[in-house]
Amino acid sequence: MSFLPGTAYARIMLHLDATVKCRATGHGSRRGPPQRCRAARRGLDRPARRAQRHYPHDPRRLANGNSDDEHPVVGGRRFVMPCGNPRSILPGSSFSCKKELRSPITATTLARGSRHEMLEALQIIIILTFSAFFSGSETAITSISRARVEALLAERRFGSKALHRMKGNLNRTLVIILIGNNLVNTGAATLATVVATEHFGHLGPGLAVGAITLLLLIFGEITPKTFGSRYAIAVSLLAAGPLELLGKLLLPLVWALEGLIRWMHSKTSPPKDPTVTESELIAMAEHGTHEGSIEAGEHQMIRRIFDFSTLRASDIMVHRHEIFSLDGTRTLGEALEAITAQSHYRIPLYASNPEEISRVVTLPEILRELALGNLHKSLNEVGSDPIFVPPNQPVDGLLNVLRANKDQLIVVVNEFGGLLGIFTLEDILEELVGEIYDDDEAPADEQGVLAQPAGSELLVDGTTELRIIEAHFGEDFAGKPYDSVNLWIIRSLERIPAPGETFLIEGLEVRIERASRRRIHEVRIRRPPPTAATTAPESNENSGQTPPQ
């Protein structure tokens, strides 16, 4: 009895004696104890409750000396009196408070109580673990794409077969996960209520609701869902097998809920959204480029492939002002000097007006006639008919035509038959793989740098990445590092510049060496001399060009 002061212990026992006698005689009903019981207990509640606060689990048990009543039954349970809480004795008890107290607490009693509390804590931890498993699995499986699952299956990753089956029937997967999650969450709430009621009495249910809600929110929802979203592949592969096994164990319930879901869906017909869109693939390619899993050239090719379907003949044609053509009425002997001065594989032919292309001749056809000595033949006799298309003709529809007729030339004409431009299969391929250089053109290296003259100057291809320019000049320009020089210039000028045009962009002097109607081919970039910053805007104004913003 050394853990309670003598006076407090005496007051508690007097309080207990008065309370139990009142309840045992039937006075302790729901309407409350009679006046004499209140008088007997008046003034004793405060120290008793103080004792309860400091010693919530008193090991003393009531005994009347008889072996049959050593552990009296109150309310259907073996009665153990909590220290300083006589109100916990139920009405109608059939024993007296005049009993002997047992010996003080023993090591066995302490061990038994500790094991009981540890078991309760372990049960709650296990339930929270299952709740975290179901929550994390739901986020991981729903966030991973079908394409990624197919790739994992092709790689023969552990658990990929089960994941493929679970992803193939996503409705059943969600039913299994939600059944398991609701079961464990309900079990957690029930167990927490029982434990809290044993320790805190009528305050237990309220405390249990608050505590288990907080625990489930942190350890059963937020943390596992965040983890599942970050490590979606690993979590999905590990969770697919156990979830599939649980689905087999709960098969009747899963079938019933699936049927209910199908019946509800049959009443509505929501639009089917595509699983993968073009914009998503482009965004994924760009994201992979920043992470290093996709090379910059591969990213640009992916973008070109998707842009290819939107191309029109006017977008890729060589403009009529850049076309080399010959009079078709001239003989091979007359045109031989002009032909050898050029290095074109295909030469357009006109009858009387260079704006009206009628035939096209190729270099192999000319060589064959020269070998036969037919110098007197006209070019029209040697050549063949080209293909005429309007400027808005889709390019992807012409690709098969050019593949079947490799030597054909596409002539773009307006509604009056006037020449607008020409293009070949090579021009189409350049839209997919980038610039293709002829033998007389200086090819760029793999970074797009054509030449590095003396000093801080670069001659680059229009498709060169901006990061190459930034690394050479030690500057950070507006735009993304993987943007092309074309995009950088067009974004700054808000137009496509003409060949020979010079202007300033972010402190650098940019000169367009070669460009077509729709894109820039070669650009010379250097640091301007000290006076260029003042003269460049004036030259742009005098030439009728809008200075860069």
**pLDDT interval class at 450 (50, 70, 90):** low
Interval 76-105: pLDDT, tens: 444 444 444 444 444 444 444 434 444 444
SS (H, E, C) 380-396: HHHCECCEEECCCCEHH
Interval 355-375: pLDDT, tens: 888 899 988 889 998 888 888
Angle, nearest 10°, between helix axes 107-143 and 160-168? 70
The type of residue at 332 is L
The rounded percent of the chain whose pLDDT value lies above 70 is 69
Q: CA 243, CA 179: separation in Å to the nearest integer?
A: 11
Q: CA 404, CA 485: separation in Å to the nearest integer?
A: 35
Domain limits, the chain: 6-105, 110-266, 278-308, 313-433, 449-542
Give the distance, in angstroms, between the CA of residue 46 and the centroid of all CA atoms in the same chain.
Answer: 61
Spatial CA neighbour of 80 closest among 44, 46, 116: 116
**pLDDT interval class at 137 (50, 70, 90):** very high
**pLDDT interval class at 243 (50, 70, 90):** very high
Mean pLDDT, rounded, of the chain: 74
Lowest mean pLDDT among 217-226, 278-287, 327-336: 278-287
The rounded percent of the chain whose pLDDT value lies above 90 is 10
- What is the token pair recorded at 408? 């054909």
| Residue 482: pLDDT over 70 | no
Q: CA 349, CA 345: separation in Å to the nearest integer?
A: 13
Q: CA 9, CA 52: separation in Å to the nearest integer?
A: 11
Q: CA 382, CA 360: separation in Å to the nearest integer?
A: 9
- 313-433 is classed CATH 3.90.1150.10: no
- For domain 449-542, the CATH architecture is 2-Layer Sandwich (3.30)
State how beta strands 77-78 and 73-74 pair: antiparallel
Neighbours of 237 (CB within 10 A): 19
Cα angle, residue 144 at apex, residues 140 and 149 outer, rounded to 5°? 120
Residue 69: predicted pLDDT: 43
**pLDDT interval class at 75 (50, 70, 90):** very low
CA dihedral sign of residues 199, 204, 209, 214: negative
- What is the token pair recorded at 456? 């801080």
What is the enclosing helix (H) or strand (E) of 410? Answer: strand 410-413
Cα angle, residue 118 at apex, residues 116 and 120 outer, rounded to 5°? 70
What is the enclosing helix (H) or strand (E) of 504? Answer: strand 502-505
Give the distance, in angstroms, between the CA of residue 390 and the centroid of all CA atoms in the same chain.
Answer: 43
| Residue 254: pLDDT over 70 | yes
Spatial CA neighbour of 295 closest among 286, 304, 303: 286
Q: What are phi and psi of 379, to 5 degrees?
A: -65, -35
| Residue 122: pLDDT over 70 | yes
Residue 30: predicted pLDDT: 44
- What is the token pair recorded at 152? 């994992």
**pLDDT interval class at 438 (50, 70, 90):** low
Q: CA 437, CA 481: separation in Å to the nearest integer?
A: 25
- What is the token pair recorded at 59? 């090991």
Whether the domain at 313-433 and the domain at 449-542 fall into the same CATH topology: no
- Residue 222 or 266, more confident: 222
| Residue 504: pLDDT over 50 | yes
Angle, nearest 10°, between helix axes 170-200 and 232-249? 80
What is the enclosing helix (H) or strand (E) of 367? Answer: helix 363-371
Spatial CA neighbour of 428 closest among 475, 385, 389: 389
CA dihedral sign of residues 38, 44, 45, 51: negative
